[in-house]
Structure formats: C-alpha cells, structure tokens
Amino acid sequence: MPYPLPSYAASIWIAGDDLMIAFPGQGPESKGHTIKLPSSETGLKTALKIMRARSHAEDLRLANKGTPSQWEAEQDMKYASWLKAMKKTKAADAEEKAEAEAFLAELGL
C-alpha cells in the first residue's frame, strides 16, 4: 500500500462488541467523528459499504456519501436487516407453497 495514506482513509478498530470507524476531519477547522457499528456480519458489511463509498466520494465532510453520521449508519443497517428478513420470509413462503402443492398433488388435486 502506498504511503501516505489516501485522503479517504479511516481508522477502524474493535472495542468490546462494537466496530468503531473514525473519520478524520476535512481541513484545519474541521473535527473528525467516530461511528459505532455492531461487530457482526451486518456491521462489517456496513463498514465495507462505507469504505467503498469513501473511495469514490467527492465530498468527505460529515453526512456526505462515504462519511455517514451515526444515525445514517444505523438506518442503513436497519434497512439491510429488513431486506434480509424479507428474503427469509419470501423463501419460507416459497417453501410453504411448494409443500402445499406437493400435498395437493399427492391427493390428486
């Protein structure tokens, strides 16, 4: 990896059950900020999504693409969890439908 680090770099570490991401300030008068994600599959996927967005972002100030606030990161994880739950529900519905069709076929209906 070439040094110095790219302008979009961030610090990432584990603290207990949390995955922490610290974003540096952009400019001399700007403070950085840190967000806390769960140290889980969802938290790691969210962190990777943020880092990919950072590498392409044009503006790295707070609440822009690639530098989410804590609230934005939480909303993204909630949406991802909702999508995962919907996929499980659809899979369960499809499985239930297949079982019902098999049962009706056995009855000759």
Is the pTM higher than 0.75?
Answer: no
Structure tokens at 24: 């540096």
Residues recorded for the chain: 109
Separation between Cα atoms, residue 11 and residue 34, nearest integer Å? 9
Domain spans of the chain, in order of start: 11-107
Q: Which tokens in the block code for residue 73?
A: 């990161």
3-state secondary structure of 3: coil
Nearest-Å Rg of the Cα atoms of the chain is 21
What string of pLDDT tens digits covers the 109 residues of the chain?
Answer: 567 878 888 999 999 999 999 998 877 777 889 999 999 888 999 999 999 999 998 888 887 888 898 888 888 888 777 788 888 887 777 778 888 788 778 887 7
Continuous H helices in 1-109: 41-56, 70-107
Q: What is the pLDDT of residue 2?
A: 66
- Give strand pairing partners of 34: 22
